[in-house]
Amino acid sequence: MSRETAIANAQAMVDDGRLLDVLSRRVAWPTESQEPARGPELGRFLTEEMVPALEAMGFESQILPNPKPNPKMAEGPFLVAKRVEGEGLPTVLIYGHGDTVRGMEGRWREGLEPWKIVVEGDRWYGRGTADNKGQYTINLEALEQVRLLRGGELGFNVTLLLEMGEEVGSPGLQEFCDLHRELLKADVLIASDGPRLAASQPTLFLGSRGAFNMTLRVNARERGYHSGNWGGVIRNPATIVANAIACLVDGRGRLQVEGLNPPPMSNSVRAAIHDLPVGGGETDPEIDVDWGTEGLNPPERLFGWNTLEVLAMGAGDPAAPVNAVPPNATATIQLRYVAGTDAANILPAVRKRLDECGFQGVELMAARGEAAPATRLDPDTPWVRWAVASMSKTIGAAPAVLPNIGGSLPNHCFADVLGLPTLWVPHSYAACAQHAPDEHMLGSIAREAMGIMAGLFWDLGEAGVPAHKA
């Protein structure tokens, strides 16, 4: 009985096809949360697929309702499954989501389809293979191999939380965590979603950037007026919106709004991200080194700083321009921001800057009701050091550590509401086509991930685990 055997047993599940069998069964469920008609399917996936599988692993499951149901969506209930071995033992919370984006039938490459896994070389095609059924299934199966090798006892407690609405913005997740703090009480979150920094680079990330979307709008008149008859004597909404944007972000992507920058990066955050590679994957764009905040290198700009992006803009009809001053113009902009940014001040700071620049006539509003807040765990904390040591022991080199990913996740539910240190170990990569046709997982990553997770779960049952709340 050894750590090496646990890792070998977990990886054997990839080699002999058992992991693929489990995943094929789960991918066959069309759990599209973006399709309201799929509501019943989401609940059945939990009761008919997940509950029996978890029972065989010694979990007791409960299906609990969404405290904030949205009748227009099919976000489904929550599954909480617990394996309790002892009061004084550490407890890990594992999170995953069983819903997927739409299958997009008919748009997959010849020979591929969403609800049936097709293996081609290293690629396991199917909706949910990467996002997120494949990732949480790896974690549960690696956990089970550790339990079997240890004679049926892990040496720690496990709570699994599966949601069925992640792809529609996790409605009710925050309220659910708030309502069930006691049920979800744990010492640490270990979860898997999103991509590695690169396919061959095992990665540990600790939080995510927040996103705040805003709309700028100038609505000057009921209709357009001929530019020859009226141009030069009536104000042009498109010109005004373009210049309003320019006072917020300059032509080289540099933020121009004082209150929107985060506090200075800590030494531990800068040290963690300074040498990380950005891009370089097969479908990645070329990095523009002269774009963005000055004094930072690309990984610092991406993982350690805030950026204002123009997402969409419109005036007139670009496909069929006419000789007229357009009646109105609009733009949607977004601030991606790191932890430490005063999120409540984003809208007021933008308003203040617009007014200072003379754009009192530009309307500004938050484009989404709820902004996803930023989270970050300091890389220099005991749980992070513990996870880095475990992963390093398994793979023979240190993983890349990201204090936060560039994108967004509902991690504030775990970091802020439940107050947990959050360790994310992604098992996918940027070119996995997660929200498009041809989504796939890489068999090579799945195999390495089974080893990494078996190592982490093995070590969680050993001495040397960071202090936990008894």
Segment lying near Zn ion (by CB under 5 A), choices 43-51, 130-138, 246-254, 263-271 = 130-138
Residue 45 Cβ vs Zn ion, minimum distance, rounded to whole Å? 16
Closer residue to Zn ion in complex, CB, 34/227 = 34
Segment lying near Zn ion (by CB under 5 A), choices 84-92, 129-137, 260-268, 349-357 = 129-137
Does position 439 bind Zn ion by CB under 5 A?
no
- Strands of 60-64's sheet, edge to edge? 60-64, 78-83, 157-163, 91-97, 188-191, 422-424, 203-205, 400-402
Residue 436 Cβ vs Zn ion, minimum distance, rounded to whole Å? 11
Token couple for 400: 């890349």
Size of the site for Zn ion (CB under 5 A): 1
Residue 361 Cβ vs Zn ion, minimum distance, rounded to whole Å? 39
Residue 319 Cβ vs Zn ion, minimum distance, rounded to whole Å? 31
Q: Please give the residues from 409 up to 428 whose contact with Zn ion meets the rule CB under 5 A.
A: none
Tell me the residue nearest to Zn ion as measured from the CB: 131
Does position 131 bind Zn ion by CB under 5 A?
yes
**Alpha helices per DSSP H over 150-190:** 173-179
Query: Which DSSP letter does residue 392 get?
Result: H
Cβ neighbours of residue 13 under 8 Å, at least 6 residues apart?
19, 141, 145, 450
Query: Which DSSP letter does residue 108 get?
Result: S
Residue 166 Cβ vs Zn ion, minimum distance, rounded to whole Å? 6
Does position 193 bind Zn ion by CB under 5 A?
no
Residue 428 Cβ vs Zn ion, minimum distance, rounded to whole Å? 10
Q: How far apart are CA 257 and CA 439, in angstroms?
A: 39
User: By the 8 A CB rule, do 395 and 279 touch?
Assistant: no
Closer residue to Zn ion in complex, CB, 131/141 = 131
Residue 279 Cβ vs Zn ion, minimum distance, rounded to whole Å? 21
Token couple for 452: 């990494």
Helix 3-15 crosses helix 18-27 at what angle (to 10 degrees)? 60
Query: Which DSSP letter does residue 307 get?
Result: E
Segment lying near Zn ion (by CB under 5 A), choices 38-46, 127-135, 213-221, 346-354 = 127-135
Segment lying near Zn ion (by CB under 5 A), choices 82-90, 125-133, 150-158, 389-397 = 125-133
Cβ neighbours of residue 232 under 8 Å, at least 6 residues apart?
none
Closer residue to Zn ion in complex, CB, 132/145 = 132
Annotate each residue in 75-114 with x if it binds Zn ion (CB under 5 A) or - if it does not, as one string.
----------------------------------------
Q: Please give the residues from 223 up to 252 whose contact with Zn ion meets the rule CB under 5 A.
A: none
Residue 172 Cβ vs Zn ion, minimum distance, rounded to whole Å? 17
CA 171 from centroid of its chain's CA atoms: 15
Locate the DSSP E strands across 338-392.
363-366
Supply angle C-alpha 62, 66, 72, rounded to 5: 140
Question: Measured between alpha carbons, how far is residue 291 from residues 107, 335, 459 in Å?
Answer: 35, 16, 43
Segment lying near Zn ion (by CB under 5 A), choices 68-76, 105-113, 126-134, 179-187 = 126-134
- Strands of 210-219's sheet, edge to edge? 307-315, 328-337, 210-219, 363-366
Closer residue to Zn ion in complex, CB, 70/266 = 70
Segment lying near Zn ion (by CB under 5 A), choices 131-139, 202-210, 447-455, 457-465 = 131-139
Residue 314, number of CB atoms within 10 A of its CB: 14
The residues of the shown chain that bind Zn ion, judged by CB under 5 A, are: 131
